[in-house]
Structure 1
Amino acid sequence: MLKCYLVTLFLFLSFSSFALETDSISRKSIEIPRISEAPKIDGVLDDIAWQNAPIATDFVERNPNNGRPIPDSLSTEVKVIYDDLGVYFGAKMKDPEPDKISKELTERDNIAADDFFFILLNGYNDRQQSMQFIVTAAGVQYDAKMTNGREDNSWDAVWYSEVKINDDGWVAEIFIPYFILRFPKKQVQEWGLNMEREVFRTRTRYSWNHVDNQKGAYSLYDGEIHGIENIKTPTRLSFQPYISAYANNYDGNTNFNFNGGLDLKYGISDAFTLDMVLIPDFGQARFDNNVLNLSAFEVQFAEQRAFFNEGTELFSKGDMFYSRRIGGRPSSSPTINEGEEIAFQPNAVELINATKVSGRTESGLGIGFFNAVTNEAFAQIRNVETGEIRTEMVEPYTNYNVTVLDQRFGDNSSFSFVNTNVSRLGNYRDANATGLYVSHTNKANTWNYSASTEGSWRFLKEETIFGTEVQAGISKISGEHRLEGRLDLRTLDYNINDLGFSTNTNYVRYMGYYGYRYLQPKGNLNNMFLNFNLNHFRRLDPDLFSNFTFNFNSSFTTKDFFSYGGGVEVTPFGTNDIYEPRVNGRHVQFPGYHDQWIWMNTDFRKKLAFEGFIDWYKFFEEGRSNIFLSLNPRYRFSNKFNLRYGLLYNPSYKEQGFVDTDGDDIIFGQRDRLTIENSIGGDYIFNNKISLNLTFRHYYSGAMYSKLYSLEQNGELTEEPERENIYDVTFNTWNLDLKFAWWFAPGSQITILYRNALDSYLQQGGQAFDENFDYLFNQPQLNSFSVRLSYFLDYNRIRNAFSNRNMNRAKPGKMTAGL
């Protein structure tokens, strides 16, 4: 059976390799001069350096009316110059109503109700990856890496900007140092460049080089910047030492911790950078949104640690690297003998250090290497009768590494190799996974063809387990009508979970997609998107029908920027679920359903804005349904202060799922489940460097079982009325973070955090609201107060400071004259 699917994949790929077309994207260019004296970055373009600078102008509307020239009333002119340290931009943006320029204050790397100016720089001019720099009219900086139109805003850099609002509009003055950019080592540079301006009150965006929304990714439409020659890039070496202090009170016990460490960045060459974290400290990372998980798979959490988020675009190739594995739960559990119980089980492993090396050669070859080492972890087991404690190792010293090779070709194509490896010291499980990926877009940027294969190896004490995944697809990526076809499969033993994240295995999926979109506003609509999807799932070995779904989605935005949409999904033939029984080779029959949903977002230009949706699953079984209701209002009191509220209400009736095993029997239960989540967020932003933030979340989920079943070999459920119900459950989690942050110098920050957290797990359901909260607040609470100071040190600034000091000492009377 597997061989048949592989042959089908080969024929599918062969079909997609037809002739390529030619491309004719119009590209603007600007020739910029070298200056001898740098301008002062103050938002006023009156320095000598700007006097004869060339001007980039004639911006073109990108959204909503793609291709329309910018009106004279919003005329935008950008001057560009360079010196031995970096590139300077001076943007004058006219506005006939300067008092209406939107300038809401936010934290760094956030944009809200803001006009902004946007720069994309691509040092390799390969139209695939750019570095993005945005400054809002409120002076807030935002930076990111953009790869083929996909944005990674975890990347943070140190650059300089100031803005000024005047009678004619506003001005942005920006300095981007070479040491944060990547470009080839050659005498004459030729970079990709595009710039944009957003006018928030009309939700209109204008770009310097026209971006055609009919086809291709945004990065394809770079213009070019010429004239940069004979630059000597400074040593790219920076340090970020930190110190932190924690006072934690839990269950009446208080302890104090003091930490210190260092992050290091070093430019190995113009193209490659080394990142290291020595003695890491992630104590102020945002809390996880924990849930009551009754499914067959673990919950995937977002990475909250800055080091693992920043600059990971290479390591995200193929989605084989899930950084939460590093420093996560131990890979094994202790052995519990008769008369023993677990006294302590670590839920995280200590990270000793981590290193990243990444960059791209002039030929377009991206190379990434990641390595991390974690410490041993031990569980404590107590003898119930004697109270004696013994320890058992549940995680040895472990080394994690990821290697990535990514060769770009053409304007928007790549071939990639990814390998992940986990090596545990001693007689513990090791793992390896390897993936090959190819994505090819034709020269006209109208069709994309993709294929990939992955293999996973798990090295156990007695055996090696191998699994594989194969995917292939073809998609039309241009025009109003879009198409996609895809085929993918995974074998039963595919498992990348030692350093990746995977769930479903042993399946083959056939997928078809058709989409229609407005490319220009029509009538009362700014845009419209419609899409239709078909998915057919089968168990791979042995072959078994699993599921067939039809899905329709819609999205509309009016001229008043009111957005709404909805859709429907149907599984007309029911589902043979091969995962819920938690035993290979077994399946359970679930009825089909129809799912319908609607959503709406009001105009976010208004002080009061609202998001909401309702989603209703109705199964083809009497009384069985599932409802999701979400309400998210927000109010902007001023440009400094805003509040947000979120409500998720999710009742599920006559839900069926796995609960236990009894010998060879697999026990299922019918349950009514209610989940309610409340969240509150608020920001008070004093200025573009100082902020106060509140984040609160309370999550409740309870399940009450009304029937218990035994799962038959044919997938049917047989009721067992005599079996005792011991499976009711109630789970609560409560988190509150209050954070004060001050960016007191470029790249340097003081953070003060108060955190309150508690949770409860009770083998009981159906509690009244007040009883539930009484039980929750009788659990041990964590109250934590922490302070963290980090300071950015640039080697070049340190060297120049010492050079200037030595020069001053060499000149008699200099200090006296200065006084």
Structure 2
Amino acid sequence: MAIHKESVLIRGVLISLIICLFCISALPASNNNIERKEAFAVRINPSPPQIDGELSDKAWQHAPEFGGFLQHDPKEGEEATENTTFKVIYDDEAIYFGIECYDSQPDKIVSRLGRRDVKPEADWVSISIDPYFDHQTGYWFTAQASGAITDGTITNDGWGDPSWDGVWEVKTKIHDQGWTAEFKIPYHVLRFNPKDEYIWGLNIERSIIRKKEFVQWVLISRDKPGRVSRFGVLKGIKDIKPPNHLEIIPYTMGRTIMADKNDLSGNIGVDVRYGITSNVSLNATINPDFGQVEADPSELNLTAFESYFREKRPFFVEGAGIFKNQDYDIFYSRRIGRYPGHFPIPENVAEISRSEATTIYSAFKLTGKTKHKTTFGILDAVTSPEYAKVDENGKVKDDFLVEPLTNYLVGRINQDIMNGSSRIGLLTTAVHRKDSVSAYAGSMDWSLNFLDKTYEFSGTTAISNAGIIDDDNQKGYLVHLEGDKRGKTFGGELGFFAISPDFNINDLGFIRRTDIIRSWGRISYTRDKSFFIFRKGDCSLSIDSAWNYNNDLISKGFDIWSWMELKNYWWVNIESGRNFATMNDDELRRDGPLMRSLPNYYAGFTIHTDSRKSVAFRISPFMSRKDDGSSYSRHISFEFETRPISNLQIYIEPSYGHRFSFAQWVERIEKQVDNKTEVHYVFGELDSRTLDITARANVCFTPKLTLEVFLQPFVAVGNYDNFKELAKYGTYDFKSYNYEGNPDFHSRALKSNAVLRWEFRPGSTLYVVWSQSRGLYIDNPTLDDLKLKPIDRLSDVFSDEGSNVFLVKVNYWIGV
């Protein structure tokens, strides 16, 4: 099928505009003027309640009580089996919630300890507030019966971000009629515009875990998309002023690295959070250190594409939703402070060492929302130059520049439209390097919802201008269009995207591949009522096709997926699919050829037991196979989780993978024959195996004193044989090739860390960290090295060379 890239782009843009205009003109917007449940807050004067988990203070006596909770699960719309009521009071400093969670069997209340922002399988109650009353954004505050807490922010009417940590108070108490939760939420943790009288969005939710029952004050039906837009309202708050609050969090840190030689160092820095106005905040960090953050997992990547690792650093995780494009990582914060390597080291220079990450001098975020419902964010960061230690012609130098002084800038605007049911946004990024090339990217994304969010038309358009060393700038574009239909029983989507070959956002974004035009469709069926041995289930059928910009068909297939929850609360996930014969252009990215790809099929399933139990497990086998049997892969993982006591959680996940590839890319070899260049695309039969074990243990001494331990030994071996070269470009035909190299590999690694975390006062934390990193890569492994001996290999990794890092870090919160 022939497709011209320019006509595809033009048609895509025209179709998107036509559909957009038609939808806006022909369909009504979601109606946010619906009748909503109401609750009322009462001002207290003069004394606030003591936050102790008991609602016996005089301040609570005259506050009205609200209830009428309904089941969201398991029997949507029916009355809750246990009664829940709440009261709301406020003063000039804070708003207070008192929640009574009645229980006819209080001895069966599940109270498990967990560290902040980790929600165990336990009873809990949660408050969600929309202070802007924009039907799009908000906060949630959750207390478990044990007193453990989680909190976070909400954006785009449902995107949750648990990384946000506010400074607020809650106490819980279990009694003979159930349990209570008493909240104090200071105004300085909320953002809202000043008014004479306030109306806030509100919802209260409760989980009764032993019954697998989830209840809500305002029922948000499973077949109704959106979350904040369906909240009830809280009225009665007036004569309060949003504070301009200043938070200063200095830190001091001491670190010792034990490796070939010991290295003792220290560091200081500071984080600042300032409410410039009631709805604009500044977050800044100077000389940040993220030594308490867990290392990335080990993996075996034999593809032509970069691996993706999620962000874990607190400054960049908090509030990340503001800078998020709904479809693509136009901004990927892991680029800031990345592994230094902008300038390559010449072939005649031998590298001795370089740092693992680029130092961040400083960074700041300015975020807010105007009274016209415009959300905005600006992020700026500066990173230091980094140098490698090299050997150049026998002379050792430690000043070879591999990463220049760099400034990163991100800007984001989101505008709520159509009564807050929809949005349109702009995002731009810029990378400025000292004495080197710069890079820019910009995008527009939108989500338009109609008929009470039953239908959605969304998309992204983007352009990039990436600077390439010793080359012209790359300029490219992206177009993504998608239409979704949501429903209680049937749903579906149609989508299309085109990414030009020169689209490059990887200086400050992430995109796995470009040079692709793809279209897809999906239909889904959902059943919420019990049938046979199942409580509920979902299934879907997806089809897709993709081409590159040379009109080569590079993907065509279908996928069948289903998920079912059994009546005993186990769940099963089954997936299978088929990829038809196409062309494979993956190796073009590493000087390889275009070649045919044989058809294959794949299948896998997951069985997960009831997660409420003190012991739960999951098993997930997966396999794929070429039709002719020449290549195949198998993978299985097993997850075991146990909570032997209420404050201890142990998690172990071993996994094993075996892959045999008839034609695994090795390298491109050029030879001069009779003054002509002969190109040989060399492949080999690869038999590779991986084994890793991920283990975690979480001990909660109190909700504010926790110990987390992480351990991952990893082993990968690969044996190449029967080397061959592609006989003809664009085919899957090979002929024997006498290859003299040895690409066999034996790689193993150990990553572990233990973090003792003590929140000794609100917002102030002490970290004591032990991190260990070991590894070994054998360039020319022996036959014995290529054997995967589970016990021997996993034990060997503990004795490999590596480093131990001991770190003590103290953050001290100062509120002004």
TM range (shorter): over 0.9
Q: Which residue is equivalent to 1:727?
A: 743
Q: Which residue is equivalent to 2:675?
A: none
Of 608-617 and 323-332, more deviation after overlay is shown by 323-332
Following the alignment from structure 2 to structure 1, what is the Cα–Cα distance between the partners of residues 295 and 786?
Answer: 28
Equivalent residue runs for 1:175-574 within 5 Å = 175-251=184-260, 253-318=261-326, 319-336=329-346, 338=348, 340-383=349-392, 386-389=394-397, 391-409=399-417, 410-426=419-435, 428-460=436-468, 462-522=471-531, 524-539=533-548, 541-571=549-579, 573-574=580-581
Determine which of 802, 805, 808 is the counterpart of 1:781.
Answer: 802
* SS at 1:228 equivalent: strand
Q: Which residue is equivalent to 1:700?
A: 715
Q: Which residue is equivalent to 1:661?
A: 668
- What is the one-letter code of the residue matched to 2:501? L
Of 638-647 and 484-493, more deviation after overlay is shown by 638-647
2:616 matches 1:609: yes
Of 481-490 and 515-524, more deviation after overlay is shown by 515-524
* SS at 1:629 equivalent: strand
CA contact (8 A) 2:776 2:801 kept: no
Following the alignment from structure 2 to structure 1, what is the Cα–Cα distance between the partners of residues 720 and 104?
Answer: 65
Compute the TM-score of the two structures, normalised by the length of structure 2. Answer: 0.94
Following the alignment from structure 1 to structure 2, what is the Cα–Cα distance between the partners of residues 441 and 580?
Answer: 40
CA contact (8 A) 2:244 2:278 kept: no
Q: Which residue is equivalent to 2:762?
A: 746
Q: Which residue is equivalent to 2:786?
A: 766
CA contact (8 A) 2:714 2:794 kept: no
CA contact (8 A) 2:243 2:278 kept: no
Q: Which residue is equivalent to 1:804?
A: none
CA contact (8 A) 1:709 1:717 kept: no
Q: Which residue is equivalent to 2:673?
A: none
Following the alignment from structure 1 to structure 2, what is the Cα–Cα distance between the partners of residues 717 and 790?
Answer: 62
Determine which of 170, 179, 194 is the counterpart of 1:161.
Answer: 170
- What is the one-letter code of the residue matched to 1:294? L
Determine which of 65, 71, 75 is the counterpart of 1:65.
Answer: 75
Of 238-247 and 761-770, more deviation after overlay is shown by 761-770
Alpha carbons of structure 1 residues 521 and 227: separation in structure 2 relative to 1, 3 Å: farther
* SS at 2:323 equivalent: coil
CA contact (8 A) 2:159 2:321 kept: no
Q: CA deviation at 1:285?
A: 1.4
- What is the one-letter code of the residue matched to 1:424? R
CA contact (8 A) 2:591 2:668 kept: no
Following the alignment from structure 1 to structure 2, what is the Cα–Cα distance between the partners of residues 610 and 462?
Answer: 53
Q: Which residue is equivalent to 1:596?
A: 603
Give ranges in structure 1 of 5+ residues lacking alignment.
796-819
- What is the one-letter code of the residue matched to 2:8? Y
Number of corresponding residues: 787
* SS at 1:189 equivalent: strand
Q: CA deviation at 1:456?
A: 0.6
- What is the one-letter code of the residue matched to 2:760? F
Of 281-290 and 17-26, more deviation after overlay is shown by 17-26
Following the alignment from structure 1 to structure 2, what is the Cα–Cα distance between the partners of residues 491 and 388?
Answer: 43
Following the alignment from structure 2 to structure 1, what is the Cα–Cα distance between the partners of residues 347 and 692?
Answer: 40
Q: CA deviation at 1:669?
A: 2.2
Q: CA deviation at 1:304?
A: 1.8
Following the alignment from structure 1 to structure 2, what is the Cα–Cα distance between the partners of residues 654 and 473?
Answer: 35
Give ranges in structure 2 of 5+ residues lacking alignment.
671-678
1:679-704, CA deviations, whole angstroms, 9 ceiling, x for partnerless residues? 21112211111112211101111111
Q: Which residue is equivalent to 1:100?
A: 108
Q: CA deviation at 1:462?
A: 4.8
CA contact (8 A) 1:64 1:521 kept: no
Following the alignment from structure 1 to structure 2, what is the Cα–Cα distance between the partners of residues 462 and 737?
Answer: 43
CA contact (8 A) 1:580 1:657 kept: no
Q: Which residue is equivalent to 1:815?
A: none
* SS at 2:501 equivalent: coil
Q: CA deviation at 1:768?
A: 5.5
CA contact (8 A) 1:705 1:725 kept: no
Q: Which residue is equivalent to 1:687?
A: 702
- What is the one-letter code of the residue matched to 1:766? L
Alpha carbons of structure 1 residues 337 and 678: separation in structure 2 relative to 1, 3 Å: closer
- What is the one-letter code of the residue matched to 1:609? A
Of 310-319 and 628-637, more deviation after overlay is shown by 310-319
CA contact (8 A) 1:574 1:592 kept: yes
* SS at 2:198 equivalent: coil
2:15 matches 1:11: yes
Following the alignment from structure 2 to structure 1, what is the Cα–Cα distance between the partners of residues 212 and 767?
Answer: 34
CA contact (8 A) 1:127 1:219 kept: yes
CA RMSD in angstroms, aligned pairs only: 1.8
Q: Which residue is equivalent to 1:817?
A: none
Alpha carbons of structure 1 residues 470 and 395: separation in structure 2 relative to 1, 3 Å: same
1:360-380, CA deviations, whole angstroms, 9 ceiling, x for partnerless residues? 112110110000000011122
Q: Which residue is equivalent to 2:676?
A: none
Q: CA deviation at 1:6?
A: 2.5
Q: Which residue is equivalent to 1:629?
A: 636
Alpha carbons of structure 1 residues 33 and 734: separation in structure 2 relative to 1, 3 Å: same
Q: CA deviation at 1:193?
A: 0.4
CA contact (8 A) 1:451 1:471 kept: yes
Structure 1 vs Structure 2: percent identity of aligned residues?
Answer: 27
1:756-794, CA deviations, whole angstroms, 9 ceiling, x for partnerless residues? 210111122514637646864554221121111111111
Alpha carbons of structure 1 residues 599 and 621: separation in structure 2 relative to 1, 3 Å: same
The 4+ residue runs of structure 1 with deviation greater than 3 A are 21-26, 519-524, 583-586, 770-779
- What is the one-letter code of the residue matched to 1:789? V
CA contact (8 A) 1:655 1:673 kept: no
Q: CA deviation at 1:401?
A: 0.6
CA contact (8 A) 2:717 2:788 kept: no
- What is the one-letter code of the residue matched to 2:68? D
* SS at 1:478 equivalent: coil
Q: CA deviation at 1:391?
A: 2.9
2:65 matches 1:41: no
Following the alignment from structure 1 to structure 2, what is the Cα–Cα distance between the partners of residues 603 and 771?
Answer: 34
Equivalent residue runs for 1:71-150 within 5 Å = 71=81, 74-147=82-155, 148-150=157-159
CA contact (8 A) 1:586 1:715 kept: no
* SS at 1:648 equivalent: strand
Alpha carbons of structure 1 residues 137 and 587: separation in structure 2 relative to 1, 3 Å: same
- What is the one-letter code of the residue matched to 2:752? L
Of 15-24 and 639-648, more deviation after overlay is shown by 15-24
Q: CA deviation at 1:643?
A: 1.3
Following the alignment from structure 1 to structure 2, what is the Cα–Cα distance between the partners of residues 449 and 198?
Answer: 34
- What is the one-letter code of the residue matched to 1:262? V
1:258-282, CA deviations, whole angstroms, 9 ceiling, x for partnerless residues? 1111110001111111000111111
- What is the one-letter code of the residue matched to 2:703? N
Following the alignment from structure 1 to structure 2, what is the Cα–Cα distance between the partners of residues 421 and 234?
Answer: 33
CA contact (8 A) 1:165 1:171 kept: yes
Following the alignment from structure 1 to structure 2, what is the Cα–Cα distance between the partners of residues 676 and 652?
Answer: 12
* SS at 1:363 equivalent: coil
Q: CA deviation at 1:86?
A: 1.4
- What is the one-letter code of the residue matched to 1:39? P
CA contact (8 A) 1:445 1:478 kept: no
